[in-house]
Amino acid sequence: MELGDGLWRIEADTDQISQVFQNIIINADQAMPDGGVVFIKAANMTTEPDQMPDNLALSPDGSYVRIDILDQGGGIAPEQMSKIFDPYFSTKDEGTGLGLATAHSVITQHGGIITVESRLGQGTTFTVYLPAITTVFEEPTPEEPETEFTALDVGEHDGHILVLDDEEMILSLVKQILTRFGYSVVVTTDGAETLSLYQEALMTQHPFDMVILDLTVPGGKGGKDVIQELRALNPDVHAIVSSDYYNDPVLANYREYGFDGMVAKPYKVHDLLQVIQRTLTGSSS
């Protein structure tokens, strides 16, 4: 990481911006299956009309924080560059590319711009420009730092977890997080496959201890439907519902719909682990 001194502040939704950088960094990681380094740079910049590249629609005489994320992967073919932020385009054999489409949408909503440069065999660079707040104001009194947590803080479970979500990027992120904390994880993007995997596991000596179900799966069965069929298979199933639709009544009344817990997206690691612990141990939330 190379972070410039005195970086300006930005006004942003913390969870959304965090998800943007998670998506880009996961892409960078997946672009380097044989290993490599991800470089992250951040610096203040001021735009000047006579020095701005034609392809950057930034405000003249504006102040921005520029963040560059560089990988050492195989790069993106020139004919694919114009499609990289399309919702259903992906350079991978599996996946929808929704992670980068979401990143583009979030940055645009924040008044910024995201660009990509790539050369085959030489890696890829994503650059994000976010409007800066340059006004100086008094620093607030720092709060007590949160206590660091480990796998022991969230339970010593050797849990076997099945995760349903329609976004490959989110599945990749959740699997990395839960595996790091000692869980065994199987992921799926399809509600029917979720039911099939759960039923097969029930008939073995290694059934799933918990399922995490995305509430809505476009074009397929989402968590609201899947949980009913899971409880028909196993009335004692432990299930968590997840969604980024905060106003959905299922999240507010998850127990009435057959769930033991809920977690909002984008995930915060500590919150996700705590909900899993409470659900597996039967503690009240």
207: in domain: yes
Determine the structural domain holding residue 238 and report its residue range: 160-279
Contact 146, 44 (CB under 8 A): no
* Within a domain: 60: yes
Q: How many Å separate Cα 267 from the centre of its chain?
A: 7
Are 146 and 268 a contacting pair, CB within 8 Å?
A: no
Whether 75 maps to a domain, the answer reads yes
Residue 182 and residue 262 in one domain: yes
* CATH code, domain with 182: 3.40.50.2300
Q: Domain end: 95, 118, 133, which one?
A: 133
Residue 261 resides in a domain: yes
Tokens of 193: 């496959």
What tokens does 222 get? Answer: 């989402």
What is the separation of C-alpha 38 from the centre of its chain, rounded to a whole number of angstroms? 18
Residue where a domain terminates, one of 80, 115, 133: 133
In a domain, residue 154? The reply is no
Same domain, 128 and 184: no
Of the candidates 215, 169, 173, 223, the residue with the CA atom closest to the CA atom of residue 194: 223
Q: Is the dihedral of CA 141, 268, 247, 85 positive or negative?
A: positive
Please, how many CA atoms are within 13 Å of residue 155, restricted to the half-sphere of its CB?
18
Tens digit of pLDDT at every position of the chain (285 positions): 998 888 999 988 888 888 889 888 888 888 898 888 999 999 998 877 555 555 566 776 688 899 999 999 988 877 777 777 765 455 554 443 446 788 888 888 898 899 889 888 889 999 999 998 876 555 555 554 444 445 444 445 578 999 999 888 888 888 888 988 889 999 999 999 999 999 999 998 899 999 999 998 888 889 999 999 999 999 999 999 998 776 678 888 899 999 999 998 878 888 888 899 889 887 654
Tell me how many domains the chain contains. Answer: 2
Same domain, residue pair 226 and 188: yes
